[in-house]
Structure 1
């Protein structure tokens, strides 16, 4: 039986609004062989439904919301395990708020248990001031993911990591970050699939998040060269993936 698959999205399945060659064929092979799989992303803005609809818009059919795990979902899963039915002050969009509601959290600006930070396109000084005061007052500081910038049409834009850095500079405290490269997110993904990490493969395009996170979680790792990593960049790291492919279309599931 083939190993279960945990697969990054941006740079692996698509780049921006373009499907990567071989990606649809890869997904259809996952479905036709009934291989357990999850798409895993540090994106905490979009819900699983948003991502399903995005892939459908790119021509990939047959997926359900259960085929996705986002940094927002992983953060909610982690916090629920730490303190069920807690309260949180959230900086971020609908993705993280929706997932926290689903696990029974209440959103509050008054003595919350946690300050949870994701990417926000409406982040402002008042939110920064409030987060700093709440953390100084004892709220635990949580980040969905550490990404400093996100590639967008026409260049880059600030991401969750830049907001976390501002709050960290003002409080002198570092956040606990759930998303990649934290192996915790990989572990949560294998638990969601109901498989042991030994029987799972992490497929991604980044050595510093996908590959190191999968390696540290005890998974087989597969790097694709369709995203940000080149063969030359790969040699700069003190670890290496178990497999390297030009794109996911080359992957033989039975050989992993």
Structure 2
């Protein structure tokens, strides 16, 4: 076997890896600080399409984690980039919040309900019957159906919340049309992140807490993967999957020495 390439670039999930809700996971601030101190290119990836990078930077900073705005890559941004590549200067009807509408405006898209090229569904805390009905009718008239991510639920202080995948299922049931999901576990999101950093898959690691999104998308994009046990996937569940991460770590704190030494992970 050939020696693995040194680790030059890092991609990391946010929720369950760096933070729980509004609280930093021990070692997260040190991990980001080490990346910055050693000038390792990195992106924090999230399927959350509600917030802009500026919003997310402020939320992380309030938790004691200093991530530059330009080092945050959301499913909304990946979706906007995908649409700009597919149909430059297109039009879209959006069900979502500022993170998604801002990303689409930034790539030159026009937001409209008049014969749009796409219906784009993202996460929101204010899904309305009127918006969903409008989306259904536009898809029936020929608009292409895109969703930022397939997550069916998300956490909150009060309990489970329906997320993008649940609302997409409702629209699909009404229209018979399935959306194209851009965010994790689609490896497209990983590849768009690599392109943003001008990085290579052979020298990049994806850090995540979910086998079914973070690890599989990293694997399919050709990255080495590190599963941390501070989030969704429990140790006993790892063997249930037909694929494995490159490494399993107790937490992000265990990766700080690897950042400093440029690897390897095993």
Name the TM-score class by shorter chain. over 0.9
Number of the residue aligned with 1:148: 152
How big is each residue's C-alpha offset from its partner over 1:197-232, in whole Å with a ceiling of 9 and x where there is no partner?
111110000000000000000001000001111110
SS in 2 for 1:152: coil
Number of the residue aligned with 2:94: 90
Number of the residue aligned with 1:255: 263
State the number of aligned residues. Answer: 255
Number of the residue aligned with 2:11: 6
Mapping for residues 132-211 of structure 1, pairs under 5 Å = 132-211=136-215
Any conservation in 1 of the 2:24–2:65 contact (CA below 8 Å)? no
SS in 2 for 1:43: coil
Any conservation in 1 of the 2:7–2:205 contact (CA below 8 Å)? no
C-alpha distance in 2 between matches for 1:204 and 1:64: 19
Contiguous gaps of at least 5 residues in structure 2: 1-5
C-alpha distance in 1 between matches for 2:248 and 2:48: 24
TM-score if structure 2 supplies the norm length?
A: 0.94
Mapping for residues 27-66 of structure 1, pairs under 5 Å = 27-61=32-66, 63-66=67-70
C-alpha distance in 2 between matches for 1:71 and 1:2: 24
SS in 1 for 2:43: strand
1:20 maps to which of 8, 21, 25: 25
C-alpha distance in 2 between matches for 1:172 and 1:155: 30
Number of the residue aligned with 1:130: 134
Runs of 4 or more consecutive aligned structure 1 residues displaced over 4 Å after TM superposition: none
SS in 1 for 2:88: coil
Contiguous gaps of at least 5 residues in structure 1: none
Number of the residue aligned with 2:118: 114
1:78 maps to which of 77, 82, 92: 82
C-alpha distance in 1 between matches for 2:15 and 2:131: 29
Shift of 1:118: 0.5
